[in-house]
């Protein structure tokens, strides 16, 4: 069967090449150019310390045959040419744009990868120190990076080649919407959220006199003498938004950690991680994206007023303002994935070994953390009952991705610190969960083989690639069984994986 598939694949490629020989290019699907490796199902692996003198490598493997080299053994391996980042830890996968963005924790580099040419395509400059969270918009125009060490949110305008650091002590997470028009920043151990805005010429002139000339909601505007960007607190002390519009009682959250966005792009769902981040209640808050857009002159509407801890004052409201909707999530809310009218929310809740699977109201000295998945119905904004999944480090960055066969995969780190291991260290307490979105049940909790730091859905081939414990593993999405990985194992530490040839950008790990 394998040989027959190979013959068919080669035949198709040769036929396409013959048809398009006059054009000088070979296309394999969706108008994409056949890459130098000639592989059409590529998984890219971010490898740390692959050699004594090399701290980073982006290796490519054939995800159809699950091999690191050509089908006949030549060449022996493929990799991204020209990549030199140190300790790569995240891959932002954008297959529709034939682009990837890789952050290297060892040197603070943020490198773009040309999927079609299989080579490095330059880096994003102007980042300030190490980045605890970084994203680039799909059109490559803007990049946003949170540097907790430097206490700044950096905005990079790629088209102008400019970099603007905005002071925000404790900033550690940034979220960017799919359209690349809004960004939100989050501060550790805080109940507030922030958003940057590109200023108009009139605003630059008006705000050039320093903080006394800024709107009350502004926490920093830079450059100081002629600001081009301002960073605004979503909850202004004087109850106004970035342009001075009054919107009622100020918004508050409970240790917000990130935002995910609705399929139509109109709503930001802000995740308050609550107890696992030192707060009280985990929840999802619905905020309109339109008032938060950073592009000049494209903002519209008003921010809602807050429901908690006190209800909105009716006298504060006008026809433009509505109350913010909050959806309690008792199982915890530190990561989420949106699929049309359904949101899958992952978090940790305090549990004890004597009451396994039951979330406590508050942590205690005997508390462990238990992983949970909560399904939220976005049509009526209601949350279902939490379902136990892999445990993880409270507030840590988990990974989520949808794959074939109606499966959702969740990767955790720190699962040995959870309630499962404390209850029975010889039972299954792995860091990787397979969940069936059709039956709404956990199908499998993979055995422990180390922290699960990366997952990639090889759609159409019913496979999932995972980086666990520093090595690459492959699973079947039909039943969760392991697939032979001996020909894709790596030298060094595998930290993240991405399916370069996915059909859409939705095949992108949520982290």
Tokens of 406: 């109606």
CB atoms within 10 A of CB 123: 16
Q: What confidence tier does 17 reach under pLDDT thresholds 50, 70, 90?
A: very low
Using CA atoms, how far apart are residues 397 and 408, in angstroms rounded to an integer? 17
Question: pLDDT tens across 250-307, in order?
Answer: 577 999 999 999 999 999 999 999 999 999 999 999 999 999 999 998 998 878 877 5
Distances (CA, A) of 432 to 61, 323, 368, 398, 452: 22, 38, 18, 10, 6
Contact 265, 178 (CB under 8 A): yes
* Percentage of residues of the chain with pLDDT beyond 70: 88
Question: pLDDT tens across 110-136, in order?
Answer: 999 999 999 999 999 999 989 999 999
Q: Which of 195, 153, 184 is nearest to 170 (CA)?
A: 153
Measure CA of the first residue to CA of the last residue in the chain; give whole Å.
37
Q: What confidence tier does 313 reach under pLDDT thresholds 50, 70, 90?
A: low
User: What's the pLDDT score for residue 3?
Assistant: 38
Q: Is the pLDDT of residue 309 over 60?
A: no
User: What's the pLDDT score for residue 252?
Assistant: 78
**How do strand 183-187 and strand 42-51 relate by DSSP bridges?**
unpaired
Contact 409, 420 (CB under 8 A): no
Q: Is the pLDDT of residue 334 over 60?
A: yes
- pLDDT (average), residues 86-102: 97
User: What's the pLDDT score for residue 70?
Assistant: 78
Distances (CA, A) of 440 to 374, 376, 386, 437, 476: 10, 12, 11, 5, 18
pLDDT higher at 61 or 26: 61
Q: What is the CA radius of gyration of the chain?
A: 24
Using CA atoms, how far apart are residues 257 and 459, in angstroms rounded to an integer? 29
Q: Is the pLDDT of residue 90 over 90?
A: yes
User: What's the pLDDT score for residue 332?
Assistant: 94
Beta bridge partners of 165: 154
Q: What confidence tier does 366 reach under pLDDT thresholds 50, 70, 90?
A: low
Using CA atoms, how far apart are residues 269 and 324, in angstroms rounded to an integer? 11
Distances (CA, A) of 401 to 137, 320, 437, 439: 19, 37, 12, 17
User: What's the pLDDT score for residue 423?
Assistant: 85
Using CA atoms, how far apart are residues 298 and 290, in angstroms rounded to an integer? 8
Q: What confidence tier does 427 reach under pLDDT thresholds 50, 70, 90?
A: confident
Helix-, strand-, coil-residue percentages of the chain, each rounded to 5: 10, 40, 50
User: What's the pLDDT score for residue 245?
Assistant: 55
Helix (H, G, I), strand (E, B) or coil at 59: strand
> Buried (b) or exposed (e) across 143-152, using 16+ Cβ within 10 A?
bbbbbbebbb
- pLDDT (average), residues 89-115: 97
Q: Is the pLDDT of residue 23 over 70?
A: no
Q: What confidence tier does 315 reach under pLDDT thresholds 50, 70, 90?
A: low
User: What's the pLDDT score for residue 19?
Assistant: 40
pLDDT higher at 71 or 209: 209
Q: What is the largest CA-CA distance in the chain?
A: 75
Q: Is the pLDDT of residue 49 over 70?
A: yes
DSSP per-residue codes, 180-241: SS-EEEEETT-S-EEEEEEPPHHHHHHTTT-GGGS-TTEEEEESSSS-SEEEEESS-TTSB-
Using CA atoms, how far apart are residues 49 and 98, in angstroms rounded to an integer? 26
Q: Which of 38, 72, 39, 42 is nearest to 58 (CA)?
A: 42
**How do strand 441-445 and strand 183-187 relate by DSSP bridges?**
unpaired
Question: pLDDT tens across 212-263, in order?
Answer: 999 888 999 999 999 999 999 986 655 555 555 555 455 779 999 999 999 9
User: Which residues are CB-neighbours of 451 under 8 A, at least 6 positions away?
Assistant: 412, 413, 414, 415, 431, 468, 469
- Average pLDDT over all residues of the chain: 88
- pLDDT (average), residues 371-386: 96
The arrangement of strands across the sheet holding 283-288 comes to 256-261, 267-272, 283-288, 325-328
């Amino acid at each position: 069967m394998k040989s027959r598939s190979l013959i068919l694949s080669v035949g198709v490629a040769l036929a396409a090449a013959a048809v398009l020989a006059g054009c000088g290019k070979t296309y394999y699907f969706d108008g994409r150019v056949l890459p130098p490796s000639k592989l059409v199902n590529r998984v890219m692996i971010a490898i740390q310390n692959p050699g004594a003198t090399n701290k980073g490598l982006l290796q490519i493997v054939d995800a159809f045959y699950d091999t690191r080299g050509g089908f006949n053994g030549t060449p022996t391996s493929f990799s991204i040419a020209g990549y030199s980042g140190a300790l790569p830890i995240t891959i932002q996968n954008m297959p529709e744009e034939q682009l990837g963005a890789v952050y290297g924790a060892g040197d603070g580099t943020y490198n773009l990868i040309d999927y079609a040419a299989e080579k490095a395509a330059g880096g994003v400059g102007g980042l300030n120190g190490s980045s605890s969270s970084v994203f680039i918009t799909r059109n490559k125009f803007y990049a946003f990076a949170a540097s907790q060490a430097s206490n700044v949110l950096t905005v990079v305008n790629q088209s102008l080649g400019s970099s603007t650091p905005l002071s925000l002590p404790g900033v550690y997470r940034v979220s960017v919407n799919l359209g690349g028009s809004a960004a939100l920043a989050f501060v550790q151990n805080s109940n507030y959220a922030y958003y940057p805005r590109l200023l108009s010429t009139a605003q630059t002139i008006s705000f050039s006199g320093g903080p006394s000339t800024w709107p009350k909601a502004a926490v920093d505007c830079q450059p100081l003498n002629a600001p081009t960007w301002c960073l605004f607190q979503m909850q202004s002390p004087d109850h106004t938004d970035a342009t001075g519009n009054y919107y009622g009682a100020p918004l508050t959250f409970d240790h917000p950690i990130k935002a995910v966005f609705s399929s139509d792009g109109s709503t930001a769902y802000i995740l308050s991680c609550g107890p696992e981040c030192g707060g009280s209640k985990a929840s999802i808050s619905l905020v309109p994206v339109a008032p938060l857009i950073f592009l000049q002159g494209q903002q519209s509407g008003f921010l809602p007023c807050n429901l908690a801890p006190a209800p909105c004052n009716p006298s504060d409201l006008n026809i433009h303002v509505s109350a913010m909707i909050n959806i309690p999530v008792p199982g915890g809310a530190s990561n989420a994935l949106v699929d049309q009218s359904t949101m899958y929310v992952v978090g940790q809740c305090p549990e004890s070994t004597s009451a396994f699977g039951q979330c406590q109201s508050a942590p205690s000295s005997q508390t462990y953390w238990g992983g949970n998945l909560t399904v939220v119905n976005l049509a009526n904004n209601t949350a279902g009952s939490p379902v136990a999944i892999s445990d993880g480090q409270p507030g840590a960055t988990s990974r989520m991705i949808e794959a074939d066969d109606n499966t959702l995969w969740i990767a955790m780190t720190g699962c040995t610190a959870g309630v499962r291991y404390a209850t029975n260290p010889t039972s299954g307490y792995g860091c990787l969960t397979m969940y069936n979105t059709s039956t709404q049940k956990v199908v499998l909790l993979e055995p422990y083989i180390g922290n699960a730091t990366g997952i990639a859905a090889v759609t159409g081939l019913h496979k999932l690639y995972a980086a666990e414990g520093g090595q690459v593993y492959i699973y079947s999405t039909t039943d969760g069984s392991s697939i032979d990985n001996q020909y894709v194992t790596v030298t060094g530490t595998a930290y993240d994986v991405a399916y370069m040839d996915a059909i859409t950008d939705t095949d992108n790990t949520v982290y």
